[in-house]
Structure 1
């Protein structure tokens, strides 16, 4: 039975949410699956991916073939790297501890890049909000300036008339 690692669509129309599953290649896209490996939410920025790395590596070592999109997601989360490193351990290139050390170093570097991107996006959003606030303040000041002279003119005209009548007395 050929096994594929692929995305199974969930969510509502216009708001996709995916499960990453290992399924028989002959099964329907949203049909029966063998194992749920993780989730993928493309609606957030950056996209949210929760993945059981060891489970995915196990399926890949047993011959499961990922689809193109699933392969990109697995590569993004380091599953393909971990599979590659496990091959090095089997060949005797390095030990299990060295493999874990390399993988953890890669994961920490990747998380740093992702957090930097998220921080940059938040910074851009804050800057845009501040710019919109300044534009709104400018519009409000223009409205006040347009309405203020009308209010100030009426009392100014009445005040000299009152002074003139007091001078006559």
Structure 2
């Protein structure tokens, strides 16, 4: 199975990430199929650069985004363009359901 995830680059205390399509069993910074973007979390606001058409293509092919990438894609509107539901914070939903049951 393929995953769309972040691959760390940069140096110590200055992270920079590639958004890559990689086999789920590959190491975080190991083999990948394609680089579809970059993410720099340190500037304010963070810089995100994504090849939107390639991201949509891989999502439609069944590649599963990691939680961090799903958050980025939801913020950029890519999940909706690919016909997928936006990312929802499930931890918050579970807490809310637990509070309702009590």
Work out whether the TM-score is over 0.5: yes
Matches of 2:76 and 2:52, distance apart in 1? 8
Counterpart position of 1:58: 57
Q: For 2:72, what is the secondary structure of its paired residue?
A: helix
Cα shift readout 1:104-145 (whole Å, capped 9, x = no counterpart): xxxxxxxxxxxxxxxxxxxxxxxxxxxxxxxxxxxxxxxxxx
Matches of 2:54 and 2:21, distance apart in 1? 10
Structure 1 unmatched runs, 5+: 86-169
Query: How many correspondences in the alignment?
Result: 84
Q: 1:81 offset after TM fit, Å?
A: 1.4
Matches of 2:39 and 2:15, distance apart in 1? 9
Q: For 2:32, what is the secondary structure of its paired residue?
A: coil
Q: 1:76 offset after TM fit, Å?
A: 1.2
Q: 1:54 offset after TM fit, Å?
A: 0.7
Question: Which has more radius of gyration?
Answer: 1
Counterpart position of 2:28: 29
Matches of 1:51 and 1:73, distance apart in 2? 10
Q: For 2:18, what is the secondary structure of its paired residue?
A: strand
Counterpart position of 1:120: none
Equivalent residue runs for 1:68-83 within 5 Å? 68-83=67-82
Greater per-residue strand proportion: 2
Greater per-residue helix proportion: 1
CA RMSD of aligned residues (A): 1.0
Q: 1:55 offset after TM fit, Å?
A: 0.3
Higher relative contact order (CA 8 A, sep 6+): 2
Matches of 2:26 and 2:83, distance apart in 1? 28
Counterpart position of 1:43: 42
Q: For 2:42, what is the secondary structure of its paired residue?
A: coil
Structure 1 ranges of 4+ moved more than 2 A: none
Structure 2 unmatched runs, 5+: 85-102
